[in-house]
Structure 1
Amino acid sequence: MFLFTLVLGVLFLPEANNLKCYECLPAPSGICTEKTTECPSQDYRCLTATEVAFKGGAVLSALNFKRCTMPEQCVENSVNYGTYRVAKSSVCCNGDLCNAQMPKSKSTPNGKKCFTCEGGNCMKTLNCEGNESYCIKATKGKNVTLKGCASKLICSDQSAARVNQFSPEQISCCHGDYCNSTSRASTNLLLLLVPLLFSALFF
C-alpha cells in the first residue's frame, strides 16, 4: 500500500517549470526589442546586461541584451586604455520575467593606478575604475601597443588565451601599481583590439 501511494504521489507531482525570461539581442541601434523565452533547464537564470564603450569620456556605443544564461555568466568586467574604455555590467535573477530592468554600470576610481599611453608617451598615469584591479598591456612583438587597467576576468589565463587566439596582439596583465611599464605606444589598433577583446570573451 505504501509503495502504491508513493508511485501515485510521484505521478501526480506538479512538473517543475523552467524559468521564462525576456530575451533580446543587441541591434546596431542599441535598442533591445523584447520577446519571452523559456530557458533550456532549471539551472539557467534570467540575465540583463549592458556593454558600453567610451571614447574620451563620452559614450561611443551602448549594447543592451537579455536572455537565459548560466549563473557564472553574471559578471562585471571592463578594460580601460585611458582614451578608450569598455565596461560590461550584468545581473542574473531567478524568477519568471524578472530581467525587465537594465543594470547600471559603475565607474568610480578605485585607487589602483596604471600606466597608459598618450601619443608616444607611455608613462601617463591612469586611475583605474570599478573592478579594474589589474594593469594591462597589449603587445605586438616587443613593442607595447596599449596600456591601461582591466578587471580580473579579462586577465584570467583562460580569457587571455581566448583573446590571443584571435589576434596577433598579445594580452598580458600584472597586479601592482604601475607594473605595466616600458616600451613605446602605437594606438592605431585601439578600435580593432577593444571590440575584439569583448567579442572573444562574451559573445
Structure 2
Amino acid sequence: MYLLTLVLGIVLLPEAFTLRCYECTSAQTGTCTETTKQCPSEKNQCAAQRLVSYAGSSKLLDVTGKSCAVSEECGELVIDYGVSRTVISSKCCNSDLCNTQPAPEPSKTNPNGKKCFSCNGQTCTTTLNCQGNEDRCISTIMNVGNEKVTLKGCASKAICTNMEFAQMTGAIGAEMSCCQGDYCNSASSTSAGLMLLVAPLISLVLS
C-alpha cells in the first residue's frame, strides 16, 4: 500500500505542482475576458502582459493579455526599428492565479549609448540610438509581394532569444537575426516597412 502511494505520488507530482494562471481571450485593452488555465510544467510563471506600439510619440496599438509564461519573458521585451517601437511589458508572479493586476505601461527610457543601423526610405544607413535594455542590433528580412523588405534597429536580448517569437516570425516568412556591438547589423540599400512584425508579437502576448 505504501509503495502504491509512493508511485502515484511520483507520477502525479509534476501535475500537482504546475501553476494555474488567468488567461486572456480578448486583445482589446480593458476588455480582457479571463479564464483559468493549467500551465505546462516549463511555464512556471503567471504573467499579465501589455504590448504597446509607437510611431514617434504616437501610440498606434495597445493590447493586453494574461497567460502562463517562462521567466525569460518577464520584464520588458523591445523591438525598436526607429520608424516604430514595440514594447511588451510582462508583470510576472509564481503562485496560483496571481496575475490579477494588469501589466503597467512601458517604462520611460533613455539612450543607453549603443548604436545600430535603421532604415529610412530606400537606405539602411541611419543611426538609431538604442534605449533602456535594447542591447542588441536586429535585422529582419521578409518578402512582401514581389519585394524584399528589410527592417533594422535595436532590440532587447529577450526578443532575440525567445523561441516562440522566432517560430512565429518564421511562420510569416521572415528572417530575423541579432548581433552585439555598435552597427553590427550592417547597412544595405532596401525598402523599409512599418510594423510588419507586430502580428507575431501580439501572438506572443496572447499565446
| CA drift at 1:144 | 6.5
Which one of 115, 121, 124 corresponds to residue 122 of structure 1? 124
Residue 35 of structure 1 corresponds to 34
Counterparts of 1:22 and 1:158, CA distance in 2? 22
**Structure 1 Cα separation of the partners of residues 151 and 20 of structure 2:** 42
Secondary structure, aligned partner of 2:167? helix
Q: Do the aligned residues in 2 keep the contact of 1:20 with 1:36 (CA within 8 Å)?
A: no
SS in 2 for 1:30: coil
Aligned partner of 2:13 in structure 1 is none
Return closer, same or farther for 1:91/1:17 CA change in 2, 3 Å cut-off.
same
> Cα–Cα, structure 1 residues 67 and 160, in superposed 2: closer, same or farther, change >3 Å?
closer
Match of 2:192 among 187, 191, 197: 187
Q: Does 1:49 align with 2:56?
A: no
Tell me by how many angstroms 1:155 deviates.
Answer: 2.1
Q: Secondary structure at the match of 1:155?
A: helix
Q: Deviations over 1:160-182 (max 9, x none)?
A: 75255323332222211112222
SS in 2 for 1:154: helix
Structure 1 residues 1-203: aligned runs within 5 Å: 21-27=21-27, 29-35=28-34, 37=36, 39-40=38-39, 44-104=44-104, 105-108=106-109, 109-139=111-141, 145-156=150-161, 158=163, 161-163=166-168, 165-188=170-193, 190-191=194-195, 193-199=196-202, 201-202=204-205, 203=207
Farther-moved stretch of structure 1 (77-86 vs 96-105): 96-105
Q: Is the 8 A contact 1:52 1:88 kept in 2?
A: yes
Q: CA RMSD in A?
A: 3.6
- Which runs of 5 or more structure 2 residues have no equivalent in the other structure? 6-15
Structure whose alpha-carbon radius of gyration is higher: 1
Give the distance between the partners of 2:165 and 2:25, measured in 1 at CA: 25
Letter in 1 for 2:124: C
Cα–Cα, structure 1 residues 73 and 123, in superposed 2: closer, same or farther, change >3 Å?
closer
CA distance, structure 2, for counterparts of residue 160 and residue 36 of structure 1: 23
Of structures 1 and 2, the one scoring higher in RCO (CA 8 A, sep 6+) is 2
CA contact (8 A) 1:25 1:64 kept: no
Quick one: percent identity of the two aligned structures?
41
How big is each residue's C-alpha offset from its partner over 1:64-117, in whole Å with a ceiling of 9 and x where there is no partner? 112344545435311110111111011221335432322332241222111112
Paired residue secondary structure (2:158)? coil
Q: Distance in 1 between matches of 2:23 and 2:204?
A: 20
**Partner deviation per Cα, 1:95-145 (whole Å, 9 max, x = no partner):** 35432322332241222111112223422221112221111112359x762
1:10 is matched with: none
| Residues 34 and 157 of structure 1: CA distance in aligned 2, closer, same or farther (over 3 Å) | closer
Aligned length: 191
Cα pair 2:123 2:191 within 8 Å, conserved: no
Q: Report the more deviating stretch, 86-95 or 164-173.
A: 164-173
Q: TM-score, normalised by structure 1?
A: 0.73
Q: With structure 2 as the length reference, what TM-score do the two structures score?
A: 0.72
Deviation at 1:54, TM superposition (A): 0.9
